Amino acid sequence: MKFTSERVASWIAVGLMGLALLGCFLGTIFFAIMGNQTKEGLIASGEFSSSEADNFISLWGPVSVLFLISSIILIIFGIIGSIWIGKKTKAAAIMLLVIGILSIIFNFWPIGLIWIIASINLFRKRRKEQPSQGHHQGTYDRQQDYTNEQDKHSDFLEDDARRYTKEVKDDPYKY
């Protein structure tokens, strides 16, 4: 079974998460370098007092690191889930669903929606592969037996036709 659309969607989400990871990385580095200047700018604008600016700077440091770590974890599991799509379909669908939910929680919601859509499609295709259960299950077996009987009967007819043809060739008085 081909999983082209799911693979494409999953790898697009991995690429977008890579861009988000790059943004988180650059934001964290920018914040580390420019933290004091940002604090001074907030105080100079008059919208924040000195203590409010200190609280703002002390809050956004760990938040930016949290976003950086979460995006690293999500992209690693996204790559693993994307690789598993053709091999371990059910595990890949579960992994992409969990990653999609976590992406939405960590405010990467467009990427999370792509992963959730890919996982739903994987779950849907997985169900179609399994044979149906219930009262129709025996129908297939009976139909297979009927087909086998027809094959045996057609083999008998072919053998009989060959035998008759051979008798006609051997006996010059038979037409």
pLDDT digits (tens, 9 = 90+) for 120-148: 888 887 444 455 555 555 555 555 555 55
Task: Please state the domain count of the chain.
Answer: 2
Contact of 104 with 115, CB cutoff 8 Å = no
In this structure, how many other beta carbons lie within 10 angstroms of the beta carbon of residue 58? 11
The pLDDT-based confidence of 109 (bands split at 50, 70, 90) is: confident
pLDDT: which is higher, 134 or 45: 45
Note the residue count of the chain: 175
Alpha-carbon gap, residue 18 to 20, rounded angstroms: 5
Residues 50 and 21 in one domain: yes
Alpha-carbon gap, residue 114 to 88, rounded angstroms: 19
Residues 92 and 175 in one domain: no
pLDDT at 128: 46
- Mean pLDDT of all residues in 75-79: 91
The pLDDT-based confidence of 99 (bands split at 50, 70, 90) is: very high
- Mean pLDDT of all residues in 59-78: 87
pLDDT at 54: 80
In this structure, how many other beta carbons lie within 10 angstroms of the beta carbon of residue 125? 16
The mean pLDDT value of the chain amounts to 78
- Mean pLDDT of all residues in 39-60: 80
Residues 74 and 49 in one domain: yes
Residues 51 and 81 in one domain: yes
Boundary residue ending a domain (129, 146, 166): 129
Q: Tell me the pTM.
A: 0.61
pLDDT at 145: 57
Residue 161 belongs to domain spanning? 138-175
Q: Which two tokens stand for residue 120?
A: 């739903």
The pLDDT-based confidence of 162 (bands split at 50, 70, 90) is: confident
Residues 116 and 161 in one domain: no
Alpha-carbon gap, residue 98 to 114, rounded angstroms: 12
Residues 62 and 29 in one domain: yes
Cite the DSSP H helix spans in the chain.
4-45, 50-83, 89-105, 109-129, 137-170
* Closest alpha carbon to 13 in 90, 68, 95, 123: 95
Residues 143 and 88 in one domain: no
- For 39, residues 6+ apart whose C-beta sits below 8 A from its C-beta are 53, 54, 56, 57
